[in-house]
Amino acid sequence: MNFKTFYRTNRLRMWVIAFSSLMQPFVLIAAAYLNMLEINTLRDHNKKAWLIIVLASLLGYLLSNFFDMVSNYLLATHIREFNQQLRGKILRHLYDEKRTYQVAEVENQLTNDLNMVNDQYFNLLPTICNFLGYIIFSVIALLTINWTLLVITLLTVLCSIFLPKLIDKPIQKAMENVSLKNSQYLDLIEKWLSGIAELQRYAAGEHLMKVMHVGAKKLEEAKLNQTAKQQVLSIITGSISQIMIFALFVWTGVLIKGHMAPFGAIAVIGNFSTYMSIGIEYLPFYLGLIKGTSSLRDKITAETLPVREHSETEIHESPYAFRTKDLAVKFQNGETLKFPDIEVKYGEKILLTGDSGAGKSTLFKLILNFLAPSSGQLEFMNQAGEIIEPDLTKIGYIAQDPILFPSTVKSNITMFNDQLDGLAEIVGQNMGLTDTSSFAQGLNTEINLQKLNISGGQRQKIILARAQVHDSNILLIDEGTSAIDQTATLEILQQLLQKPNTVIFIAHNFNERMNSMFDREIHLSK
């Protein structure tokens, strides 16, 4: 994420932005220069020349506003397109990386981090062109008056460039801290406000307010620290600017008295010094802000890079069976779960039971590589029983908390694969999802996650339908029918278990008839 990628978004537009950003100070300084000539014509009583210069100056001021408006509008358009491309790359990176992210972490990446870089990098590029223009064109104007004024200006510019470097690193560190605290605050909001109903039920509002206050305070303190560092930089550059203005006024008076500068110079030197002071004060300040975003830009760049794909020699096959040996996982709290050696053959229908906390769901996470084992082995086999490198996306998984998306029932079943629409209709009908008494528009009913227009049982039926439609060779089901009545559960099991794929089903409330439908039971205990 740098100027090169920003520029490539639309090269022509960037040239127009740069041109407009430079023309704005050019016509403004040209108009100020004409004011010097205007005073001279008044002294000489040349009314005609005076009127022409006045009109030319007015045109210059109008053009300055026009170029400023064009630059700002085109920049906003450019940033919008650039951010759209960046967000697409970030989402693609997150998707291809295949690891679990916290929602608050992703929200921070897609909003706060991008906004910070926009505000303190890309939005400043035309402004920097402005300030460069102020300095360059003011230098040219001063040079035409007297070259000694240029010497004073150059000395001041050198000081203003090198002194702010003393605070570059503190500003960069302060910006990184703001990003970190904002991410932590968003994570805090997600974790606590998602359970606000439970807090209300137990009248724990005071604790909620206390926790949120502490998180907000840390974020505001980080922002305050960033502002303090920026103000120090502003004071340094502002002081240099004031010294320059004083020196220019004094020396201009000396030059006019010695007949080495035109009389009108004393009236406009203030304008030139103001334009110079703007450029000298704010150019290094904004360059410091831009440099301060380097680590954040590197972080965003890393999140937009394509995820390395498997080489052609790494062949991943669809798994049909698996086995474990000495498998164990150790958690951060020091607890260790050890699993018995398990071998599951293709086509087996297994009921996985066990005590609470015995590791039933954890075993599924190990199989799916959502969790890495601390020790032991997990091997997958193909249909011929040979050990393979598995394509884990071919393993079907139904979690305890079904994941649905704000789309139609059919899309949630097919997972947006239109080629599966016909099969979804058949499976949906078998599941009772096409009944208009449940869904007004059948499978075309839109799911509203905010208003929760579906029941827990309907959610599980949709997920089970999804599993049947995609027909994975191995299907892992974690309490997949807990919200469905026993009659409907029995019908669903009959449909699932008659298929040739391997099924491992976690359940604790099955009756004897349901248990007998499985080939065998694996019981886990602590």
Q: Both 276 and 344 in a single domain?
A: no
The structure tokens listed for 513 are 């008839």
Q: Both 277 and 339 in a single domain?
A: no
Q: What is the C-alpha separation between 363 and 316, in angstroms, rounded?
A: 21
Q: Both 295 and 363 in a single domain?
A: no
Q: Both 108 and 184 in a single domain?
A: yes
Which residue, 238, 245, 246, 321, is CA-closest to 281?
238
Residue 473: which CATH number? Answer: 3.40.50.300
For residue 316, is it within any domain? Answer: no
For the chain, 526 residues long, give each residue's pLDDT as a single digit of tens: 678 888 888 999 999 999 999 999 999 888 888 877 777 777 777 888 888 888 988 898 899 899 999 999 999 999 999 989 888 888 888 887 766 667 777 777 788 888 888 888 888 888 888 888 888 888 888 788 888 877 776 776 666 656 666 666 777 788 788 888 888 888 888 888 877 777 776 788 888 888 889 888 988 988 888 888 777 777 776 677 677 767 777 887 788 788 887 777 776 776 777 777 777 767 777 888 888 888 888 888 888 888 765 444 456 788 999 999 999 998 887 788 899 999 999 999 999 988 888 888 889 889 988 888 999 999 999 988 899 988 887 888 888 777 888 888 888 888 888 888 888 888 888 877 887 667 778 888 888 877 667 777 788 788 888 888 887 889 898 887 776 778 877 877 887 788 888 999 988 778 888 888 899 999 988 7
Q: Both 299 and 328 in a single domain?
A: no
Q: Both 279 and 328 in a single domain?
A: no
For residue 28, is it within any domain? Answer: yes
Q: What is the C-alpha separation between 343 and 327, in angstroms, rounded?
A: 12
- Helices (H) then strands (E): counts for the chain: 18, 10
The answer to whether residues 61 and 35 touch, using CB atoms and an 8 Å cutoff, is no
Q: Both 144 and 205 in a single domain?
A: yes
Q: Where are the alpha helices (DSSP H) in 293-309?
A: 294-304
* Number of domains making up the chain: 2
What is the DSSP-derived secondary structure letter of residue 308? P
Prediction pTM value: 0.60
Q: Both 82 and 200 in a single domain?
A: yes
Q: What is the C-alpha separation between 90 and 426, in angstroms, rounded?
A: 37
Q: Both 38 and 105 in a single domain?
A: yes
Which residue, 156, 306, 173, is CA-closest to 242?
156
Residue 146: which CATH number? Answer: 1.20.1560.10
The answer to whether residues 377 and 352 touch, using CB atoms and an 8 Å cutoff, is no
Which of 272, 304, 336 is the C-terminal boundary of a domain?
304
3-state secondary structure of 43: helix
For residue 312, is it within any domain? Answer: no
Q: Both 13 and 157 in a single domain?
A: yes
Q: Both 269 and 325 in a single domain?
A: no
For residue 161, is it within any domain? Answer: yes
Q: What is the largest CA-CA distance in the chain?
A: 113
Which of 245, 274, 304 is the C-terminal boundary of a domain?
304
Which of 252, 278, 304 is the C-terminal boundary of a domain?
304
Q: What is the C-alpha separation between 323 and 31, in angstroms, rounded?
A: 82
For residue 492, is it within any domain? Answer: yes
Q: Which helix (H) or strand (E) holds 68?
A: helix 47-97
Q: Look up the domain containing 395 and give its range.
A: 321-524
For residue 314, is it within any domain? Answer: no
Pairing outcome for strands 349-354 and 502-506: parallel
For residue 309, is it within any domain? Answer: no
For residue 71, is it within any domain? Answer: yes
Q: What is the C-alpha separation between 273 and 29, in angstroms, rounded?
A: 11
Q: Both 133 and 277 in a single domain?
A: yes
- Burial tier of 194 (Cβ tally within 10 Å: 0-12, 13-18, 19+): exposed
The answer to whether residues 31 and 61 touch, using CB atoms and an 8 Å cutoff, is yes
